[in-house]
Structure 1
Amino acid sequence: MNAQELSWYALWGAAALYAIAMVVSSIHLSRVADAKAAAKGKVPAAVGAARSREGSAPVSSASAAVPPAVRSQATGIARSTTLVGAILNGVGVAARGVEAGHAPWSTMYEYTITGSFVAAVVFLIVQSRRDVSYLAPGVTGFATIALGIGLTTLYQESTGLQPALQSFWLVIHVSIAIISTGVFIVAAVATVLQLMRDYRGEELAVVAEARHAAARLVRRWRNANVGTLKRWKWLEGVPEPATLEALAFRLHAVGFVLWTFTVMAGAVWAEHAWGRYWGWDPKEVWSFVIWVIYAAYLHARTTQGWAGRRSAVLALAGFVALIMNFTVVNLYFQGMHTYA
């Protein structure tokens, strides 16, 4: 088996394992939601019993733990398949580098397979420090789709590097860009969950209001949307929006620092390769736009008191710009960075 075949098989194996992890972690999230819903019904009785005992402390809803079977079986399978998938993903990237004879970051295909690997690794690192299993369906789902598109649509035979890419800056500039992209992917998953959790909480509040109010319109809205509320019941297994927002903010801050270095390193590399730091190339412009959006998000979040939905939408706008920079700009805009 040569390096090309090893890379191909390893990446397809990684995609399959990521897909399995996505399904299993989704099932786990649904079970956690059911367990929390069942625990909520038992908490009032427990509180009453606790208060009836002399010197005992009230029992809070946080004490209603998820059943061990839910945690050990589903979570174990999801973590194991994600870990093995990430290892195979890394093997596929390394084998591609051996096949190409250079760092495997010169085409959209190579960027995609490496970005998927980094996103999975970032998730596993965060998972090792705190329980973020609720991010697993989104991260592994994104990695599955990215690898599938890369292997079926973006794949290219390995070729030599163009003269402008034959520089040590390829390792520095592009590797940091890929790492920051992986961090932004995990942060975007947390932000999407934050918005979904926030909107569902608002919907449930409206339903609760409808139970006590006489407004016909509110009751009519409840009847029309009760099916939707049931379908999104799995969101009960996700932490509160404030917790998700805090996690997303930390990840975005790390990603922003890395992206700042990416833009700066790209400018230095451009001066070495083309004799100018800035040339209004489409890739350069969009990279700067991404930097501005994320800078605005961090500034508004920390100094202007923006929190909740407004800051989340701004963060997602930055992620959309990041995806457009990789897809639309690479495929439809001609410039100095058109290597794919």
Structure 2
Amino acid sequence: MGVFVETRPTPSFGVLLVNLGTPKAPTAAAVREYLAEFLWDKRVVDVPRPLWWLILHGVILRFRPGRVAKGYASVWTDEGSPLMAISRQQQAALQQLLGPDVPVSLAMTYGEPTMEQAGLELRRAGVEKMLVLPLFPQNSSSTTAAVHDRLAKGLSRCPHLPEMRWVSHYHDHPLYIKALANSVREYWAEHGQGDRLMMSFHGIPQRYEDRGDPYPGQCRATAAALAAELELSEEQWICSFQSRFGREEWVKPYTDHTLEAWGKQGLQRVDVISPAFAADCLETLEELEEENRDNFKNAGGGDYHYIPCLNTRSDHIELLAELVRQHTQGW
């Protein structure tokens, strides 16, 4: 009698979710390893390499990892960094919604899981066509384009290239705006509404926008669409930019300066949301929720409320599933 071997059908396509990355542990050594890869990317810092190597290895990687590690330690969870834990949960939720016939893998631009690890996972599942879905609603050279570069580097050693499609952005997708608005309304229903809503996005140097990076414009469009969905007047909201690095001018207005100004004006309450992040991370949980809270209150402001990222909300996962459906038509 012959042996029956069950064969699984080849999937029509697979999905590669990609987020930025995170250190393996909240330690100076792990942060140094992560920052060495992250800050060496020309998409992130485009200073000439010889000069930047001296600055990076002679100054930044000597002193910054210890300070950053303390920030990570303050937000670390039993499952690891919030970004990694939430990204894994998003991967599982999207997999459940799409069903077993559409493999979903997770990769990080920097750190692990690497593009090679995630790609091998999809290849072993029989994937011949791959949709790349960076978890960056707004398209920037320092995020979405960096995903492209890193994936291309990984594929340069691959003997079998899959057919690929990309989701370059979803900053104005109706389901994305609706999910953001739902999260704000639900927060307000439970905690009340502040005097102003700050929509704080991760910043980039002003010269990046000057040479054509679409990111700041897409951030402003997201903020305007969310304000319209919430029916806010112009005086009730602002689009600002956080996380500056170095001394050059970055896209304005700055989140921390704005909060300090509002505090000095005696604003009674501000609500803050960060639509550029698909998952809560160091920049939201430590910088926005802790550091900028102190900036606002120390300057004389009243109550400060941080509204969490979309994370694993069901309407967020449905948005991701809809992006997959829209971008895989014909597959």
TM-score by length of 2: 0.27
Greater strand fraction, Structure 1 or Structure 2: 2
TM-score by length of 1: 0.27
Greater helix fraction, Structure 1 or Structure 2: 1
Find the structure with the greater CA-based Rg.
1
